[in-house]
Amino acid sequence: MTKKTNTDAKQQDLAHDTLQPGNMLTDNMGHVIGDDQNSLKAGERGPVLLEDHFLREKLHHFDHERIPERVVHARGSGAHGYFELTDSLGDYTTAQVLTEVGVQTPVFVRFSTVAGFRGSPDTPRDVRGFATRFYTQQGNWDIVGNNIPVFFIQDAIKFPDLVHAVKPEPHHEMPQAASAHDTFWDFISLTPESMHMIMWAMSDRAIPRSFDTMEGFGVHTFRLINARGEVTFVKFHWKPLLGTHSLVWDEAQKIAGKDPDFNRRQMWETIDAGGMLEWHLGVQLFTPEQAAQWDFDVLDATKIVPEDLVPVRLIGKMVLNRNPDNFFSETEQVGYMTSNIVPGMDFTEDPLLQGRNFSYLDTQLSRLGSPNWQSLPINRPVNAASNNQRDGHMRFQINPGRVSYFPNSLDGNRPAPDEKQGFHSHPVMASGAKLRVRPASFSDHYGQAKLFWNSMSPVERVHIAKALRFELSKVETPHVRLAMLEHLEKIHPLLASQVALGLGEKPRAQETAKPSVTYDEPAEMALLARAEADTSASGGLKKAAALSQLEQPQSAKGRHVAILAGDGVDAGAVKALQQALSAEGAMGEVVGTHLGDLGGVQAMKTLGNSHASLFDAVVVADGQLQTETEALDFLREAYLHAKPLGAIADGAPVLAAASRQLPGTPWDAAHGVIDDDNAAFVQLLAQHRVWNRAPNPAS
């Protein structure tokens, strides 16, 4: 069967505007330039003449090359691909993209951090944006989501305050891409509705390993409407095929210096090498009647609908497999909008979503500079836009004829609205007094924070406590730190006390454990493992499925393994390991004492230009590295970051030498250090981290 596909539609559309260089250099008006390296001067040694129109044009364009970066989500990276529906939602919606099984719809996805500037590193502790545009035959549909399913605030009117608080402080513009500062925590401590989101933001979710090991969420509840006009509520989920995995905090900070483009580079290189990034699209479908039964409000974006109440139904797959041709024209100029929905869908009354529907259109004007921004190649729909809008700065199209109004009799009344095919707002009953209030159903701010806490594994709980200690210890104003401890107390007293210890405050709980600084102390882990909270606003659940990342699918696919080697390496052993890894979709990269040939294997990276934090696991393949400090550091770092370690050929003594740098730590197979067993190593790699190292590693 030939697959119905229109994935090429956007690629073909973009091809119209993709310019190949001609043979001769011209100015922007097509005049061939004779000399582009010397300006026109009066005499050999100047002065330069104003008459030099080539110089002026070139400088003029250069002077205006920058546009304002996004006010949030400035740092980001995008890729093209397609979405293919495998399971029709025809019972729930008339949207073609969700009913035509087997059709491939082109997509462009942009991943981002929120707080940092455009040039900031990829790996701060932050929420990640996950914005997807579907170029459907019924117009663009955007899911402008995040990698966390809830948000800090319930009402869009608070968004500017939230963003002002988290961005670098306005008097000295510090810190860059970090929430660990006074203004953020001041705002949060005065905003109880943010507590559920704070638990997510302090968890490992806020330091994802890569774009293709993070989930995506539409966050808000939307409506689907079927042919009979019936409404179903829906929440959208992107589930990565590789599972959801994170960095550890010390590693994330080091990557920010060693390779600030870490996530961007990995996506680019994966696609460049012919690979792809993949997610399932999942939906939670529920009726308004079901929603009315729950003890939380589905219009409140600080709440999840636990998967135990409504399972996620996987309905299709998204594949990203083409890098942009030009970062600026595609990734920078793409303008997503929550208001981009297609017939068969509708918004809900979520006040955060309603505010966003204004903001995303509005912001493009100051960023892209003209009301014609929707005609930019990356933004225009594959079904051509057709209306009576005209003129404005940078008009791209030439609209012939004298008619630019509706109704008209001079051009056959075209283009005309179409009752049948057009978008309809669902006729939701709306009435009431005009009130500036928050509904009572939005008032539980701690119940789902507790649900999240209860759902974490012990090691994930320790990471949350450590993240809070890190962040709050950077807050200089004592009353802000204390105010945050009050909130944590309401989530769990043991969590609050463990954080208090790190801040030099008196813990309220009778029982405490030494807070871990370098290691996850087993005592703290054991204490927090017992810290179960009573929940509310959680549909009666004490714990929810799919929140802990340790429950995620395990696979070695896409993992990068450093193979440390010098000139004396056994090339056969290295190649055997590389083969075992590539059979599972992982990569073994030789990191050499120098670049190039190491007696039969090629080093593409060196111990000096690389770092353990840039790999998922490390194997040492050469006994002569025992005396190489950089090799020992590689192994030590990887051990501390709970990564699988191994030795092949005569590498074992190097592991032993590295272990002596960390006295008292076990370096054996039971703790993720594998000697000369490729199959066991690959199996371990699929588990991502070795959490049973005791004491556990810095994170």
Which is closer to ligand HDE, CB of 334 or CB of 465?
334
Closest by alpha carbon to 536, among 200, 148, 196, 292? 196
Strands 673-675 and 645-647, how do they pair?
Answer: parallel
C-beta of 332: minimal distance to ligand HDE in Å?
Answer: 9
C-beta of 116: minimal distance to ligand HDE in Å?
Answer: 13
C-beta of 299: minimal distance to ligand HDE in Å?
Answer: 13
Contacts of 559 (CB under 8 A, 6+ apart): 581, 586, 587, 616, 617, 685
Q: What is the Cα 302 distance to its own chain's centre?
A: 19
Neighbour-count burial of 234, counting CB atoms closer than 10 A to its CB (0-12 exposed, 13-18 middle, 19+ buried): buried
Name the closest residue to ligand HDE (Cβ).
129
Q: Which one of the listed residues 73, 245, 611, 688 is annotated catalytic?
A: 73
Which is closer to ligand HDE, CB of 96 or CB of 329?
329
360 is in an annotated binding site: yes
264 is in an annotated binding site: no
C-beta of 91: minimal distance to ligand HDE in Å?
Answer: 26
- Contact (CB, 8 A) for 9 and 133: no
Which is closer to ligand HDE, CB of 129 or CB of 539?
129
- 146 catalytic residue (yes or no): yes
CA–CA distance, 163 with 115 (Å, rounded to integer)? 8
205 is in an annotated binding site: no
Contacts of 219 (CB under 8 A, 6+ apart): 145, 146, 149, 150, 151, 235, 301
Q: Residue 303 carries which side chain, given as an amino acid letter?
A: K
209 is in an annotated binding site: no
Q: Which one of the listed residues 80, 140, 146, 492 is annotated catalytic?
A: 146
C-beta of 455: minimal distance to ligand HDE in Å?
Answer: 21
Which is closer to ligand HDE, CB of 335 or CB of 502?
335
356 is in an annotated binding site: yes
- 73 catalytic residue (yes or no): yes
C-beta of 127: minimal distance to ligand HDE in Å?
Answer: 8
HSE, CB side, 13 Å, CA atoms: give it for residue 244.
22
Contacts of 663 (CB under 8 A, 6+ apart): none
CA–CA distance, 359 with 259 (Å, rounded to integer)? 33
110 is in an annotated binding site: yes
- Contact (CB, 8 A) for 454 and 543: yes
Which is closer to ligand HDE, CB of 159 or CB of 211?
159
Residue 61 region by backbone torsions, left for phi larger than 0, else alpha for psi between -120 and 50, else beta? alpha
Which is closer to ligand HDE, CB of 122 or CB of 628?
122
Q: Which residues bind ligand HDE (CB under 6 A)?
A: 70-73, 76, 110, 112, 129, 131, 144-146, 151, 156, 159, 219, 301, 334-336, 352, 355-356, 359-360, 363
Instruction: Please state the three-class secondary structure of 87-149 as a single string.
Output: CCCCCCCCCHHHCCCCCEEEEEEEEEECCCCCCCCCCCCCCEEEEEEEEECCEEEEEEEECCC
Q: Could you tell me which residues are annotated as the binding site for heme?
A: 70, 110, 159, 356, 360, 367
By annotation, the residues acting in catalysis are 73, 146
Q: Could you tell me which residues are annotated as the binding site?
A: 70, 110, 159, 356, 360, 367
